[in-house]
A = this chain, B = another copy of it.
């Protein structure tokens, strides 16, 4: 059973001013060790190495997503919109609060290498023997499953899913505002209050009154700018590449039977694919940084060097290319080997636009992993139109993308061996 707190609890929050907790269940979830662990996982991964203010955690973001969801629902309830199922309130709030609880350290960089998915871990934390699970079960026996199905987008009532996961969901709205606040840029500063006022629950979807179209345009422009200027920043990608290389190298060594001077149990299990939830929960960013710090003294010089680069921010430089098949690159690879470098690690090609990116696309192909419900406007005659039909500006930015490749490389060894490089390679790498 959930019950109302006799006295509302309040968190001071720089983005929403205050976050209000009115339910015992929400309060108890926040106090679980699994949720408190999110304080040790940064919201923006390695972005703090580019924007030093971006040191905020997934803990504060998760509270923010909860708060926006709470505000939307409370507006729906106050206006008694028939499209909103009032009995789903607590379910939606729990899903909002917990949607990121399975994130591991530097998830976006490390999941690829370890072939692990935070969505699965979220599910495990909700359903296995954890404090979170115990709190949810107190509401009802099937409540953990319901929360998991909302987060997993299989819950039968689509409007609940769409609060947490759509082109205008509480997750996106919080992270754009929060990341803008902590990095200090003013791109992300759209008009949240206005947007919350124009949302309407209609036919199992959350749609936008047409009179609010300009506020949505502003939100999508903010998103566009945040992606290109913060999330895809090439210096941040350089640090992500080094992070991925650390784990790639560790896995390679492990698979080859290398004997690590320091190899703690949870990492071992992560590498051999046997890790279970209690060990996974130990893996926060403090833990990973401490391991990297110990690995700077490993015998494998590549691993040691990569860890040193990450901790002390000796990042790779990059050059920009239109075509990654450039024959000069092949020539360079040969010369890299000749001077003792390993092109697998020391010449990494990056094409950020390959990534499942998140610019608004009305025509996201069905079934794709990143498919999100498009933004619909509610016209005066109660019809619905996809926003890019009505808005010139949305139409014009939703088709945009930029198409250059970056090659990341360590500049120091190239400088040291400059005389062994051909003029073309020197010019390419600005040596």
A residues neighboring B (CB under 8 Å):
8, 10-15, 17-18, 31, 33, 36, 39-40, 48-49, 51-53, 55-57, 59-60, 63, 181-187, 189-191, 193-194, 197, 214, 217-218, 221, 224-225, 228-229, 282, 284-287, 289-290, 293, 311-313, 392-393, 396-397, 400-402
Residue of B nearest to A183 (CB): B12
Q: List 20 A-B contacts (CB under 8 A).
A: A10-B197, A12-B51, A13-B184, A14-B181, A18-B194, A39-B48, A52-B60, A53-B60, A55-B57, A185-B191, A186-B189, A186-B190, A189-B189, A221-B221, A224-B393, A286-B286, A392-B401, A393-B397, A393-B400, A396-B397
CB-defined contacts of A282 to chain B, threshold 8 Å:
293
Give the most central of A11, A14, A56: most B CB within 10 Å: A14
A184 touches B290 (CB 8 A): no
Contact between chains at B287 and A36 (CB < 8 Å): no
Q: In the complex, which of the residues B18, B48, B214, B313 contacts A228, with contact meaning CB atoms closer than 8 Å? A: B214
Q: A186 vs B191: C-alpha distance in the bound complex, in angstroms?
A: 7
> What separation, in Å, do the CA atoms of A400 and B191 have in the docked complex?
23
- 15 further interface pairs, Cβ-Cβ under 8 Å (given A36-B313, A52-B59, A187-B218): A8-B197, A12-B53, A13-B52, A14-B181, A33-B312, A40-B289, A52-B60, A53-B60, A214-B225, A214-B229, A224-B393, A284-B289, A290-B290, A393-B397, A393-B400
C-alpha spacing A109/B214, complex, angstroms: 26
Residues of B within 8 A of A229 (CB): 214
CB distance from A365 to the nearest CB of B (A): 22
Interchain nearest-CB distance for A19 vs B (Å): 9
CB-CB under 8 A from A187, the residues of chain B are 218
What CA separation (Å) do A392 and B232 show in the bound complex? 16
In the complex, A284 Cα to B193 Cα: how many Å? 35
Identify A311's interface contact among B36, B183, B290, CB under 8 A.
B36
Question: A-B pairs with the 7 shortest C-beta distances?
Answer: A14-B184, A396-B396, A286-B286, A33-B312, A290-B290, A286-B289, A14-B53
Q: Say how far A17's CB is from chain B's closest CB, in angstroms.
A: 5
How many copies altogether?
4
A289: B residues at CB distance < 8 A:
40, 284, 286-287
Instruction: Specify which chain B residues have a CB less than 8 angstroms from the CB of A17 in the assembled complex.
Output: 184, 191, 193
Please give, as numbers and ranges, the residues of chain B lying within 8 Å of A11 by CB-CB distance: 52
Distance between A11 CB and nearest chain B CB, rounded to angstroms: 6
| Docked pose: A63 CA to B392 CA in angstroms | 35
A193 surroundings in chain B (CB, below 8 A): 17-18
- Chain B residues closer than 8 Å to A285, beta-carbon distance: 286
Report the minimal beta-carbon distance from A126 to chain B, rounded to whole angstroms: 18
Residues of B within 8 A of A194 (CB): 18
CB nearest to A308 among chain B residues: B33
If A52-B60, A286-B285, A290-B287 touch, whether A183 touches B14 (CB-CB below 8 Å) is: yes
Central interface residue in A12, A15, A218, A397, by most chain B CB within 10 Å: A12
Q: List B contacts of A397 (CB < 8 A).
A: 393, 396
Question: What separation, in Å, do the CA atoms of A8 and B381 have in the docked complex?
Answer: 18
Residues of B within 8 A of A191 (CB): 17, 185-186
Determine how close the nearest CB of chain B comes to the CB of A295; give it in whole angstroms.
Answer: 13
Q: How far is the CA of A191 from the CA of B180 in the complex (A)?
A: 13
Whether the Cβ atoms of A55 and B52 lie closer than 8 Å is: no
CB A170 to nearest CB in B, in angstroms, measures 17
List the B side residues contacting A56 at CB < 8 Å.
53, 55
- With both beta carbons as reference points, the residue of chain B lying nearest to A14 in the complex is identified as B184
Q: What's the Cα separation between A33 and B296 when bound, in Å?
A: 13
Return A320 CB to nearest CB of chain B, in Å.
11
Residues of B within 8 A of A59 (CB): 52
Residues of chain B lying within 8 A (CB to CB) of residue A313: 31, 36
Kindly state the separation between the CA atoms of A40 and B312 in the bound complex, as whole angstroms: 11
Rounded to whole angstroms, the CA-CA distance of A285 and B287 in the bound complex is 10
List, in ascending order, chain B residues with CB within 8 A of A8's CB.
197
